[in-house]
Amino acid sequence: MADTSDLVLDVKNLKTVFFTNSGLFKAVDDVSFTVSRGETLAIVGESGCGKSVTALSLMRLVPDPPGRIVGGTVTLEDTDLLALSEAEMRKIRGDRISMIFQEPMTSLNPVMRIGDQIVEAVRLHRNLSSREAQNIAVEMLRLVRIPEPVRRAREYPHQLSGGMRQRAMIAMALACRPALLIADEPTTALDVTIQAQILALILDLQKELGTGLVLITHDLGVVAQTAQRVIVMYAGRKVEEASVEALFAAPKHPYTRGLMASIPAVPASGVAAPERLNEISGTVPSLVRLPKGCAFAPRCTLAIKRCEAEYPPLTDWGGGHLAACWRAAEVAEVA
């Protein structure tokens, strides 16, 4: 465990709700976690479990209406982000906390040259001459390994390939050397060979700059290869948290366990692929009509009476390995 003075981000009991036609629901329900300097925390879970809303909450970018952060604290270094005015938050966004998205065009301006966009982002936060900012822009493009950065800086986003655009977005996000970078499925839309390049790049830069990284993904392979710690979300809640080693060695939550068993793997040399994959039966519940007890109970093979009646508390099973399951102690033996 990292020493607390090294904490970049400290999220406590975050709660974000949406008011929709079909009712009110908690997209993020009582979620806590921390990120240290230079650390990668992965958030993993299936579609709709609240990963992106968590990220948007940290950035204070939840669309309101229909969404609203209704509880908790988000402390970035020594600043309580949820207490800031929108104007104060705007100064911090892109400077001390940055975000990159699955689709680079959500943060790139299609009608502005790549270099100018970085210049603009830098000058918004730093008192620099246009010349100095331009040098930083080219330097950043070089850092993200875009070939011929001087020429590329003069190009428009559509002139770059998908992988190059993703690099340009990373360059922009890191230009002010933020303390925390949030990457929401940054490689999901990319081909696997490009994904490997981009992930390697993000990790290299993070090491070089000491940035804290929150990496959101649904791919357990990406988690295993990039993160030091993981949180697993299900239906808006954190159901498990552990170091990657501990999580993959012995998941404590039946959902995590099911997820790991259900992913097809590229067979290791000499190992035949199994006949059938393990499935998790059923589907993810609607957030508007969550079961009273454990949200995973309707799909869980270990569920007992108590699971349907009471939500299991997050419990530390040793060494910072947390799980919210009534039967976590038995999961390893039973399954």
Partner 1 sequence: MTERLLEVTDLKKHYPVRAGVLRRQVGTVHSVDGVSFSLGAGETLGLVGESGCGKSTVARSVLRLIEPTSGQIRLDGEDITHLSKTALRRHRRSMQIVFQDPFASLNPRMIAGDIVGEPLAVHGLASGKALEARVAKLFEQVGLRPDQMRNFPHQFSGGQRQRICIARALALGPRLIVCDEPVSALDVSIQAQVINLLIDLQKQHGFSYLFIAHDLAVVAHISHRVAVMYLGRIVEIADKDELFRNPRHPYTQALLASVPIANPLAKKLAPLVDGDVPSPVNPPPGCAFHTRCRFAMERCRIERPVLMDAGDGHQVACLLNDGTGQSQ
DSSP category for residue 93: B
For residue 33, give the H/E element and its range.
strand 23-36
Candidate residues 118, 168, 247, 297; the one interacting with ligand SF4 per rule CB under 6 A = 297
Going by C-alpha positions, the residue among 206, 223, 241, 221 that lies closest to residue 316 is 241
Q: Please give the structure tokens belonging to residue 283.
A: 């589907």
Using CB under 5 A as the binding rule, whether residue 98 contacts Mg ion is answered as no
- Smallest separation, CB 62 to ligand ATP (Å): 8
DSSP category for residue 210: T
* Integer Cα distance of 255 and 290 in angstroms: 16
3-state DSSP helix/strand/coil percent for the chain, to nearest 5? 40, 25, 40
* Integer Cα distance of 225 and 244 in angstroms: 9
Using CB under 8 A as the binding rule, whether residue 265 contacts partner 1 is answered as yes
Nearer to ligand ATP, 164 or 287 (CB): 287
- The length of the chain in residues reads 335
* Integer Cα distance of 142 and 144 in angstroms: 5
- Smallest separation, CB 184 to Mg ion (Å): 6
Going by C-alpha positions, the residue among 185, 320, 330 that lies closest to residue 242 is 320
**């990373």: which residue's tokens?**
170
- Smallest separation, CB 207 to partner 1 (Å): 12
x-marked contacts with partner 1 along 8-47 as a string, rule CB under 8 A: --------------------------------------xx
Residue 224 site contact among partner 1, ligand SF4, ligand ATP, none (CB < 5 to 8 Å, cut-off depends on kind): partner 1
Nearer to partner 1, 73 or 243 (CB): 243
Q: Buried b vs exposed e over 152-187: b needs ≥16 C-beta within 10 Å?
A: bbebebeebeebbbbbbbbbbbbbbebbbbbbbbbb
Nearer to ligand SF4, 73 or 315 (CB): 315
Strands 67-76 and 7-20: what pairing? antiparallel
Using CB under 6 A as the binding rule, whether residue 18 contacts ligand SF4 is answered as no
Instruction: Say how many C-beta atoms besides its own lie within 10 A of residue 40's C-beta.
Output: 24
Nearer to ligand ATP, 152 or 299 (CB): 299
x-marked contacts with Mg ion along 32-61 as a string, rule CB under 5 A: --------------------x---------
Residue 246 site contact among Mg ion, ligand SF4, ligand ATP, none (CB < 5 to 8 Å, cut-off depends on kind): none
* Integer Cα distance of 76 and 88 in angstroms: 13
- Smallest separation, CB 113 to partner 1 (Å): 20
Instruction: Say how many C-beta atoms besides its own lie within 10 A of residue 135's C-beta.
Output: 14
Residue 312 site contact among Mg ion, ligand SF4, ligand ATP, none (CB < 5 to 8 Å, cut-off depends on kind): ligand SF4
x-marked contacts with partner 1 along 226-255 as a string, rule CB under 8 A: x-----------------xx--x-------
Residue 129 site contact among ligand SF4, ligand ATP, partner 1, none (CB < 5 to 8 Å, cut-off depends on kind): none
- Contact footprint for partner 1 (CB under 8 A): 46-47, 161-164, 191-197, 199-200, 218-226, 244-245, 248, 258-260, 262-267, 269-270, 272-273, 275-281, 283-284
- Contact footprint for ligand SF4 (CB under 6 A): 253-254, 294, 296-297, 300, 302-303, 307, 312, 325-327
